[in-house]
Structures are given as C-alpha cells and as structure tokens.
Structure 1
Amino acid sequence: MPSTKSAFDAKVPAPGPHAVLWDMDGTLIDTEPYWIAAEMELVKSHGGSWSEEQAFNLVGQALPNGAKILQEAGVDLGVREIIDHLSGQVVAGLTSDVPWRPGALELLRALHREGIPQALVTMSERSIVHELMAALPEGIFTASVTGEEVTHGKPDPEPYRRGLALLGERLGRRFDPARCIGFEDSKPGITSAAAAGLHAVLIPNATDPGVGNWRRIDTLVDINLKTMTDWLVQVNA
C-alpha cells in the first residue's frame, strides 16, 4: 500500500518540536510602532487623547476588543471601520518595510529547511498577513490563523488550538500540543499559547508580561532546532 506519511514526517526528530507556531505582530515583525502611531492619529482626529500606556494595553488583544476601547476613548466609528482603518495603516507601513525582529527570519528559514511544520497564529487580519507572506519564500507556513477567523481571540486558547487543528488537517496527523512550541511577545498571546497546551516561549517586546507558566528568552538570535529540542526534552522528561 502507498505510504500516507507527509514529507515532513521523515525529518521531524522524535524528541524535537513536532511543529512551531508563531505570533506575528511584535514576535516575528516589529509592527507595534505602526499600530501605536495609527491608534494615536485616529484618536486625535476624533478630538481625544491616547497615551503610550493605553496603546501598550492593546498589544496582543483581539482587534474587536481594541476597537471598542478606542470607541471609549472618543473614536466615533464602528468597530469594523476602526479595524479597517488601523489595518490599512499597518499594511501601508509594511509595504515599504517589513521590520523583522532579530533572528526571526533566519529561524523561520532554518526550521523550514529541517522540515518542521510551522503555523502563523495572529490577531491581525488576512490583509496584513498577505504582506508578511509576500516577504517570505513560498511554503514557510503550512497553516495560518487570523483574528477574523476565530470566535474568541487571544488570550483564549482557541487561536492556537485552531492552528494545531489546521496543521493536522493539512498534514494528515494529530499534533500533540506538548510536543509543539509557540512563540509570543505579549501577555494575551503567551497566555493563549500556554492555555492551548503548547510549550510557550515569551520574547518580550513592547510590553513585558513577566513570569508565568512559560519559558522566557531575550532574543531569537542563536535559537535553533537543537535549542528547541533541548527545551522539550527538559519539560517532557
């Protein structure tokens, strides 16, 4: 009988990560300055004020939640209008420059060469994800989940559970969350990844969630497959 194994199966080391799931904004690419500038401009145009502290409180939040908070700050637009406006501003920024976080692009490519399935799990919408995908070699991500595709956004575990389910559908096998790694930079994001059962790894950026039931690193520079395999061997021993 013909084999049903995917091309990925032969390469994945048993003790190593069976998949890696990534947040986008603030983790792979440093788009938080784009979001914050767009929020400040929007609130100001409606006669309100918006501080950095208020902006940082939105980092990692589902976009509809953030839009409602902006309405409370005086933005006289509907939730959908606010999301579309902010997303458009971020897309415009990414069109001219994709600000990769140190080590992120190199690690994405290295994991792809090793045959490790990867998924993108973001609260941004598909229009922004398209800009990221355009800057990557084809096939880096086997699956992607965006904010408008889930009922409950981060910090709920649904986005990461959805990412694992999509990987399973695409590759024809079940992914044990405990054998998968999720990279995040925000409190809502890292809480979501950990609640979904992944080995959650925090790389703080605009905000610092502090300590919790997750691993904490300072940078993706010099992180490789062996590093991640060692993490999983340690926690699953």
Structure 2
Amino acid sequence: MDGTLVDTEPYWIETEYALAERYGGTWSEAHALNLVGNDLLDSGRYIREHMGIDLEPEQIVQELLDGVVGRVEQEVPWRPGAVELLTGLVASGTPCALVTMSYERFVAPILARLPAETFRVIVTGDKVEFGKPHPEPYLTAAAALGVRPEDCLAVEDSNTGAKSAEAAGCLVLVVENHVPVLVGERRVFADTLEGIDLAAVWREGPSTDHRDERRGS
C-alpha cells in the first residue's frame, strides 16, 4: 500500500523527524529510506537504535501511527493510476488482496475512500507473525483468496516487498517510488500504474521492461 497505492512515505518521514525532535534524537533521510517497506516493529527497533531515543519499539510504532493516521484522515495521497487500476480489476471480477506491513488502524481510513470489497482479503503487519521480506504475508493472502501464489501478480515499490512476494512464488510488478529496486528473476518493471496492462505484464512475464515501452511511446 505505502508507496504503491498511496504515496504516504513523506507522511512517515515527517512523523519520524517529529519523533526525533520530541525525544531529543537525531534522524536522516538515509535512515528514513532504509525503512521503506519494512515491518513496523522492525522499523521501531531500527529507530530506537539509530535515532538514539529511549522508547520501546512498540511505543515508537504507536506514536508513528498516531501521526500518520492523522495525516491520511485529512488527505489520502493516491499514486497515479492506482484508483483507476483497482476500479478496473473490481469491474473485471479479478480477486484482489491488500498486503501491507502497515497496521489495521492506518489502513482503515484509506480503504474507507474506496468502494466496499475492493479487496477481498486484507493482510496487515499486525496480523502476521513474520513481516516482509518474509513470504508469510503473501502466502497468507494467496491462501485466503483460494489461489496459488504462482498464479498471483504482486505490485510492489520496495526491495523488501519484492523479496516477500518473490519468495512466496508470485510474479512481481515493480513500480519504483522513493527507493531503487534491484532486478530479480520474477520481477517486471514499469514507470507507473497509469495505463498499465496487467494482462500483458502477466503474459509477457519478467522478460519485458515496461519502462522501456513507455519511454518509447
């Protein structure tokens, strides 16, 4: 979700800087970008160590969520083409799952802006034992949809998320946002979700770079 459907990474980063200021810690853009796509408790541990603040990871996560939830309740920053893509998938009867390491209380105000049952399955970071890059989140989603992971196309924007989906057996469509993503055997790259033909992505597989197609159009 974060960075793929909605561009909430700036919200997270601003909240991290505010946390550092509130508790006398130090922070940097490089540290912030290291957290993109990570499990929130892992991020809390990283922040405790690298920000230098004396808070438990669980409290760090809750304070981050307080700040970011407040922002998305005011405005949801959709990524280009995201809503249109979801609308088309629902209309075609394609079963969709949301697989995010954000917690349920952060996901709720975003899903409230979409038609009911846009996602048949929702897997959040507080509902799995092992977060991304472990395959459990995507394995859980595929099982709940009643399909094989090998028959799923995951859409991701981070190395952490791509690793999780790839390890589960999914084909991965990567739309980079704030961080570069490495090339992988089961990864397809595109510049944007705007006008993306998912059927073509699935049919052509990881041999095609859809960024080249857009540059040449």
TM-score (structure 1 length as normaliser): 0.83
Determine the C-alpha separation between the residues in 2 that align with 1:31 and 1:233.
28
SS at structure 2 position matched to 1:55: helix
Change (3 A) 1:225 1:140: same
Aligned to 2:99: 121
The alpha-carbon deviation at position 113 of structure 1 amounts to: 0.1
The alpha-carbon deviation at position 176 of structure 1 amounts to: 2.1
Q: For the Cα contact (< 8 Å) 2:188–2:201, is it kept in 1?
A: no
Between the aligned residues of both structures, percent identity stands at: 44
The alpha-carbon deviation at position 165 of structure 1 amounts to: 1.2
Rg bigger for which structure? 1
Higher relative contact order (CA 8 A, sep 6+): 1
Q: State the one-letter code of the partner of 1:45.
A: R
Change (3 A) 1:145 1:223: same
CA deviation string 1:55-87 (max 9, x = no partner): 000101100111011111222222221111111
Q: For the Cα contact (< 8 Å) 1:25–1:32, is it kept in 2?
A: yes
Instruction: Identify which of 31, 44, 50 aligns with 1:54.
Output: 31
Instruction: Identify which of 155, 159, 179 aligns with 1:207.
Output: 179
Aligned to 1:25: 2
Equivalent runs, 1:73-222 vs 2, <5 Å: 73-168=51-146, 175-213=147-185, 214-222=187-195
CA deviation string 1:10-40 (max 9, x = no partner): xxxxxxxxxxxxxx00000000000001111
Q: For the Cα contact (< 8 Å) 1:62–1:123, is it kept in 2?
A: yes
Instruction: Identify which of 2, 11, 18 aligns with 1:41.
Output: 18
RMSD (Å), alpha carbons: 1.6
Determine the C-alpha separation between the residues in 1 that align with 2:54 and 2:206.
52
Structure 2: segments with no counterpart, 5+ residues: 209-217
Q: How many residue pairs align between the two structures? A: 206
CA deviation string 1:114-158 (max 9, x = no partner): 000000000000001101110001111000100011111100100
The alpha-carbon deviation at position 225 of structure 1 amounts to: 4.4
Q: Which range is displaced more, 183-192 or 212-221?
A: 212-221
Moved over 4 A (4+): 232-235
Q: State the one-letter code of the partner of 1:99.
A: P
Q: State the one-letter code of the partner of 2:193.
A: L
Q: For the Cα contact (< 8 Å) 1:179–1:232, is it kept in 2?
A: no
Determine the C-alpha separation between the residues in 2 that align with 1:28 and 1:70.
25
The alpha-carbon deviation at position 226 of structure 1 amounts to: 3.4
Determine the C-alpha separation between the residues in 2 that align with 1:106 and 1:223.
10
SS at structure 1 position matched to 2:116: coil
The alpha-carbon deviation at position 41 of structure 1 amounts to: 0.9
Determine the C-alpha separation between the residues in 2 that align with 1:234 and 1:212.
10
The alpha-carbon deviation at position 229 of structure 1 amounts to: 4.3
